Amino acid sequence: MFSEVKGNPINNNNNNNNNKNKNNNNNSKLEFIFQVLVSIILLYNTINKNNEISLIENFYKNSFLILSTTINICYQFFIKFNFTSKNLHSRSHKNNNDDNKLLVERQQSDWGLGLGISLIPNILLVILLTLNNNNNNNNNNYFTIISLYQISLSIISPLFLFNHINTYRNSKIWKPSSSSSHQPSLTKKEYTNFIIIFLITLIISFTIFFDNEINFNNLKLTLFLFLLSFIFLVITKQLLYKLPNSFTIGEASIISQIITILLSESIRYFYNLFINNNNNNNNNDNSINKFSRINILYCFYSLIVGSLFIVFLNSLFNVAKSLRKLMTDYNNNNNNNNLIKNIIIKSSLFYFLVIFIIVGIIYPVLSYQLNGENPFIWVFEYIGSSDRIKYTIGLWMVLLVFTIFSYQPTIHSSIPMIISRKYFHILAIVMFTPPLLLEGDDDMYKFMVLSYSVSISALILLELLKYSLAPPLALPIRHYMDRFLDDRDSGLITTTHIYLLLGCSIPLFLTFFMDLIHLGSSGIQSNSYHFLSPFSGILTIGIGDTMASYFGVKYGRNKWFGSQKSIEGTVAGSIFTIIASLLLYWFCSASGSSLTISSILKIIVTSTSCSLMEASTTQIDNLILPLFYFTLINL
């Protein structure tokens, strides 16, 4: 009797796992089709651009982009037929051992590896094609740098990731654990493959070197591409092992690519600022407008990279992790005097490290960037320079205070959690849409970039605080934020709210950089990208995803591919995204834009594709959908 009772749940779990893997396979097929189609369309556009160019230098540039995109498409097919859920978990099912999972990834989702290696390279290719449409010679340097990023992330970085997965996917060392962050050491096979990847990088560098526009010698180019991809692998591994069950491999890959580019660009900008002393070259511009785009850009790098640096040092010195362990022991009633003393010491060290980096590093760097001004005074002057900025901040403060003190999930217990969480999506619409609608107001545009930078930095530090459990602030913050968790927030950190902010901000950051490339530090918004590009996050996750969830929960009867997502919800999300996109497009018609048949069809296809992607992907859509929309709307 005991064996029967014990055996039935195992059989049920195995059946559930088999059904889940089958559903994931069905879902991933549509996700795969969409992403490959986007890559093929981009490849076609790149080839067409190539045919229009007569200069041999630009021909070489686009030829390499054609090569990198083609290889990336091949990678996606390779992933589809070699990294399926059946292949990945076959050993696990054979041994009836759930602990034999291959990676320290979030268990409710598939890997998402195809999206992970193609989404960011496709966005970079969209930016490059946009730059190619402009004959401004000032774009050459940016074209070179972005091309190198695109080639590295399309060809070389996936090789590093494939090598690591193939080396360890059958290793019993590679197990998920909420309390363990053990990383397998490099094997002889992986070292050998690193050498092979380096040789491939060397060959690519030799061919790129024939482009006279690229100001790298062959060795520097090889090292740049190789190190860029190696940094990507290191960050991906750190995310998966240090924060088990928090990411899928695809999500970790996307975040790692973003961080890699951000770190590389930060090093380049700070090198120009401190070593080349370009700050003095901008004094004339800053004396006229000290709130110029270049100053906003430096603030962006300082804030976000500074917060990541705080996380890095906490990981390096093992402060947050050891403090978390001490607090866990304390919560388990092991509250002896020695333990309490260690908690006080570690907590003091944690807060000291955070304050020291903010006051001792970030503050002086910001002050130097602003020609010696006090950054806090600079911020208040910036806020006071525009009535619209003051009104916007006032509105935000009212909304945030209302949210913190009035909106509690326990109050709305009759509302499903998936709907309660969408309150923050609606909040994002109310907070972020009005400033972006003020087309031509460069102050509001720069203000939104700065605001997003501050918000992302604050959320990173809040997650670090939550992870460390540092008293006295961590527990109240964690208690409030954990009320909004769902099954995807099963890891050591909460990612969905960070993804929500990233999904809203990344499209705006991209358009900000594109404007900066086209028009310089004193320019305003250009017409080099689609008008709806900055609204990609608001349209997809603010409106589309919210409406899909509401109608899916309330009226959903027919499910997609046997999943929990309904056809009714997908249709509603698509319709509302289309309507909102058309309204936004119509709103700007006074400034010269007008709705044409082609623009309407483009909006319909883009919105519908995003809704279908939302229905098919098991990745967190707050991160995926805005990037997917941004790519499609700019094709």
DSSP 8-state symbol, 533? G
Maximum alpha-carbon separation in the chain: 85
Structural domain includes residue 4: no
Do 480 and 535 sit in the same domain of this protein? Answer: no
Count of structural domains, the chain: 3
Structural domain includes residue 91: no
Return the minimum-mean-pLDDT range out of 88-102, 131-145, 341-355, 452-466: 88-102
The answer to whether 458 touches 505, Cβ cutoff 8 Å, is no
The answer to whether 516 touches 447, Cβ cutoff 8 Å, is no
HEC per residue, 283-313: HHHHHHCCCCHHHHHHHHHHHHHHHHHHHHH
For residues 492-506, average pLDDT = 90
Do 588 and 486 sit in the same domain of this protein? Answer: no
Do 113 and 169 sit in the same domain of this protein? Answer: yes
Do 450 and 340 sit in the same domain of this protein? Answer: yes
How many other CB atoms sit within 10 Å of the CB of residue 280?
10
Structural domain includes residue 503: yes
| pLDDT at site 353 | 93
Do 265 and 206 sit in the same domain of this protein? Answer: yes
Domain boundary among 451, 478, 511: 511
Do 184 and 245 sit in the same domain of this protein? Answer: yes
Quick check: 389 pLDDT over 70? yes
Structural domain includes residue 589: yes
Do 546 and 626 sit in the same domain of this protein? Answer: yes
The per-residue pLDDT of the chain, averaged, comes to 78
Do 115 and 72 sit in the same domain of this protein? Answer: yes
pTM of the model: 0.86
Confidence of residue 109 (pLDDT cuts 50, 70, 90): low
Burial 102-141 (b: 16+ CB within 10 A, else e): bbbbbbebbbbbbbbbbbbbbbbbbbbbbbbeeeeeebbe
Domain boundary among 241, 276, 311: 276
Query: Which domain range does residue 310 map to?
Result: 298-511
Domain boundary among 213, 241, 276: 276
Structural domain includes residue 128: yes
Quick check: 231 pLDDT over 70? yes
Q: Residue 525 to residues 50, 261, 419, 585: CA-CA distances in angstroms?
A: 27, 23, 36, 16
Do 138 and 249 sit in the same domain of this protein? Answer: yes
Structural domain includes residue 95: no
Do 485 and 540 sit in the same domain of this protein? Answer: no
Structural domain includes residue 268: yes
- pLDDT (tens digit per residue) in 178-221: 444 455 555 566 666 667 776 777 676 666 655 544 555 556 66
How many angstroms separate the CA atoms of 60 and 96, rounded? Answer: 53
How many angstroms separate the CA atoms of 239 and 256, rounded? Answer: 8
Between residues 218 and 116, the one the model is more confident about = 116
Do 506 and 557 sit in the same domain of this protein? Answer: no
Helix (H, G, I), strand (E, B) or coil at 137: coil
Q: Residue 424 to residues 23, 295, 411: CA-CA distances in angstroms?
A: 29, 30, 16
Beta bridge partners of 559: 566
| pLDDT at site 205 | 63
Structural domain includes residue 7: no
DSSP 8-state symbol, 373? -
- H helices of 520-544, where? 536-537
Pair of tokens at residue 150: 């695109």
Q: How far apart are the first and last CA of the chain?
A: 63
Do 442 and 319 sit in the same domain of this protein? Answer: yes
| Range among 238-247, 332-341, 381-390, 568-577 with highest mean pLDDT value | 568-577
Chain mean position to CA 107: 20
